[in-house]
Amino acid sequence: MKPKFRHVALIGKYQATTSCAGGALSRSALEEIAHFLHAQGCEVVFEHDTAQNMGIFGYPMLKVSEIGAQCDLCLVVGGDGTMLGIGRQLAHFGVPLIGINQGRLGFITDIPFNGFASTLAPMLRGEFEEDHRSLMQGKVMRDGVSVFDALAMNDVVVNRGATAGMVELRVEVDGHFVANQRADGMIIATPTGSTAYALSAGGPLLHPSIPGWVLVPIAPHTLSNRPIVLANATEIAIEIVSGRDVSANFDMQSLASLMHGDRIVVTRSKHHVRFLHPKGWSYFDTLREKLHWNEGVA
């Protein structure tokens, strides 16, 4: 049977090249996946920097933007951080992504490298579950002018410097004043990001199908300042009222040294990321695996 996806790109986390346990990537693993795809009838290309840094030759090389314009499918081999970066870059192309993890399974790179062939083969024939993840469009406004903007799939985080005290933040939703909060910072997280920093800060888990965000204060001065779930059709604005060395991070894309009066404005992006999972995949299976639910249950 011919594959549903004919033109497939491979992208790997080439910054670390030791094997397996720490989530790093080996050249042999990428080549094994490429050989498998070729045997399935797929035309295989490598992302340019992946091939160059891993020393892989013999396959066409494309930049990420060219992959978005030319390929039917992208396989990302690495961890969730690698997938976040590629997902943001490919979102406006609509190319579906499959994540293969060589180390510990991730929340969005959920196919283990061991035994990948038996999982990928039916997916290439069209047997998969499709999962759409929303993105946030964030920008930093200074004196009415945007000085930084970026997409985020996980979260937008405003926080204090390492040696500074609390910051004071004015929070608005759709232009309505919510509160002035003194805290170590504030997180605006998508459902995808609800299992990341927001969870560590005490926020709730949001199922990916929920069209919402969670607003989570980081170590608030007033304990009644609790996480709140908001519709993602809203506009959230966080203004820096006081504090030193305040920074804004958009999935770790950072703008440091914010000034008093700067406003971090977050709206829903018109783009989303398409993830493909094996047939029968469930978000709750991932939660059980990653959060170690049911451990100790006979």
Active site residues: 80
CA nearest to 269, candidates 159, 116, 150, 185: 150
Which helix (DSSP H) or strand (DSSP E) does residue 32 occupy?
helix 27-39
Quick one: DSSP state of residue 92? Answer: G
Quick one: DSSP state of residue 71? Answer: -
3-state SS of 128-144 is: EEEEEEEEEEEEEEECC
Buried b (16+ CB within 10 A) or exposed e, 6-37: ebbbbbbbbeeeeeeeebbbbbebbbebbebb
Q: Where are the beta strands (DSSP E) in the chain?
A: 7-12, 43-47, 61-62, 73-77, 97-101, 111-112, 128-142, 145-152, 155-159, 167-173, 176-183, 185-189, 212-218, 228-231, 236-242, 247-250, 253-255, 263-278
Q: How far apart are CA 226 and CA 201, in angstroms?
A: 10
